[in-house]
Chains A and B, each alone.
With several copies, the nearest count.
Chain A
Amino acid sequence: MDIEQVETTESEGYHIKIEVFEGPMDLLIFLIRKKKIDITDIPIAAITHEYLIYLGRKEQINLDREAEFLLMAALLISIKSQLLLPRPEPLGDEEDPRRPLVDRLLEYQRMKTASSRLREREEEQLQMWQRSVPPQSEAGDEPGLIEVSLFELAESFFLLLKRRETDHFRSLKGQEVSLEEKMREIIRELEERQFLDFLDYLGRQETLEEALIAFFCLLELIKSRVVIAVQEQLFHTIKVWLRRSRPAPPSHGQPA
């Protein structure tokens, strides 16, 4: 019944079929089903034993997820040891150390079933085609208009910063105010005043060019971990602090 868990590895002329468990939950559920175990009453010792065998063999383990498989092994072992503790009276249902794991397994199973339904719907939908481009119309349309998600908004800001950062170091070589001078100036200011307000500091620059240089110096100093930028209140102000232990400021090999 674990057809879903079968991944087919195809190589040139022949087929090899191996079951690969994508994550620890997959493997656990496979073992429980294979042994026809009641999920609410898992014999932890036996399951742990089996689980470790699979883990040791590695063939059926998604190796990208090895750490998570190990984490589950640790959890199983800790549950096992809790069950072994001598107790004056038997545990109630609520105190059963297996309980949280059982709840997780049940929920995971439900989600797997739900996802197989989604998969069926996907199959149906994939046979129906929708246009991705609006038809030509005389009423015309502005090109390049998009519906934006919050993620895109954040991403575009991030990419903007990155782009500026790389552009800058290419275009500003040989400027009057050198980057290193500016960096030294920033560090000097930081040593005196403890912290700088990122935007405020940029605003204090004489020219746009200088503001740009200051901006990229700060980015560079942050990147090379000389200073640290902290947002105390999200997006209201960014404060820059000098790190206590810091490497030497980066050098760009231009005359100071």
Chain B
Amino acid sequence: MDSQLKDILEALIFISVEPLTLDRIKEVLADTPEEELRRALDELAQEYGRPGRGMRLQSAAGGYLFSTKSECDPWVRRLLQIERKSRLSRAAVETLAVIAYHQPATQAEIQAIRGVDSSYTVHTLLEKKLVKISGRKKAPGSPLLYKTTDRFLTYFGLNDLSELPSVEEVAKMLEEEEQHAEK
């Protein structure tokens, strides 16, 4: 019974988004005496304190939470960095969408559609090699033109640009959703 209690506590702390307080634990495990809970939590903390674990049980902000051991920090940071590289911000997705559908496009055109200055976002997309400069527009000031890259195609699993869903196709799907919602 005691060991099952420890299981449950481990699962609860793991799944909790915020530090899990004893009060909250008492609510969930209302039938278990507080003393028993405390004992099980102590045991759990001890287990996590042993060498050969990558996480530890921290008691912070009045609650319990798991965190990675500081010894693992360099690797954790490396993983987060790698993952960050493969992700995009909302602004980046929007900008990328504009360039994908309107290429080649200038900063001014992107801005006209998005309604906000997009130079920083275009810059990050350039860095991620999802877009590239394809030349200059024959227009006053000869602004730079941006295009999507092969890497862009790979990222989205496309063979070529013609495989992008058309605006009409998206509109149709979204309309269907609205009709369904109306019911």
Q: Is B44 an interface residue (CB 8 A)?
A: no
Interface of A is mostly: helix
Known: A125-B155, A126-B85. A108 touches B132 (CB 8 A): no
- B87 & A160 in contact (Cβ 8 Å cutoff): no
A205: nearest chain-B partner, CB-CB: B112
Residue contact B173 to A117, C-beta cutoff 8 Å: yes
Q: Is the CB of B15 within 8 A of A23?
A: no
CA distance A163 to B115 in the complex (A): 10
CA distance A122 to B108 in the complex (A): 26
Minimum distance in angstroms from B119 CB to a CB of chain A:
13
How many of chain A's residues have a CB under 8 angstroms from any CB in B? 78
B35: chain A residues at CB < 8 Å are none
A58 at the interface (CB under 8 A from B): no
In the complex the two chains form, is B98's CB within 8 Å of A122's CB? no
A29 CB → nearest B CB, Å: 10
CB-defined contacts of A68 to chain B, threshold 8 Å: 115-117
Task: Name the contact of B156 in the complex, choosing from A104, A121, A167, A203 (C-beta under 8 A).
Answer: A121
- A114–B101 contact, CB under 8 A? yes
Q: Report the separation of the CA atoms of residues A151 and B166 in the bound assembly, to the nearest whole angstrom.
A: 10
A208 and B137 CA atoms in complex are apart in Å by: 15
For chain B, residues 74 to 130, give those with C-beta under 8 angstroms from any C-beta of chain A.
Answer: 76-77, 80, 84-91, 93-94, 96-98, 100-103, 108-109, 111-117, 126-127, 129
Cα-based distance from A22 to B67 in the complex (angstroms): 35
Cβ contacts A to B, 13 pairs, < 8 Å = A25-B114, A104-B112, A109-B174, A121-B156, A128-B70, A135-B67, A140-B80, A146-B87, A149-B129, A150-B133, A151-B132, A153-B164, A160-B97
Q: Which residues of A contact B (CB under 8 A)?
A: 1, 4, 22-26, 33, 36, 65, 68, 72, 104, 107-115, 117-119, 121-142, 144-158, 160-161, 163-164, 167, 199, 202-203, 208, 211-212, 215, 231, 233-235
Instruction: Mark B residues whose CB is within 8 Å of A.
Output: 11, 14-18, 56, 58, 65-70, 73, 76-77, 80, 84-91, 93-94, 96-98, 100-103, 108-109, 111-117, 126-127, 129, 132-133, 137, 139, 149, 154-158, 161-162, 164-167, 169-171, 173-174, 177-178, 180-182
6 closest residue pairs by CB, A with B: A157-B97, A1-B181, A127-B70, A25-B115, A145-B87, A115-B97
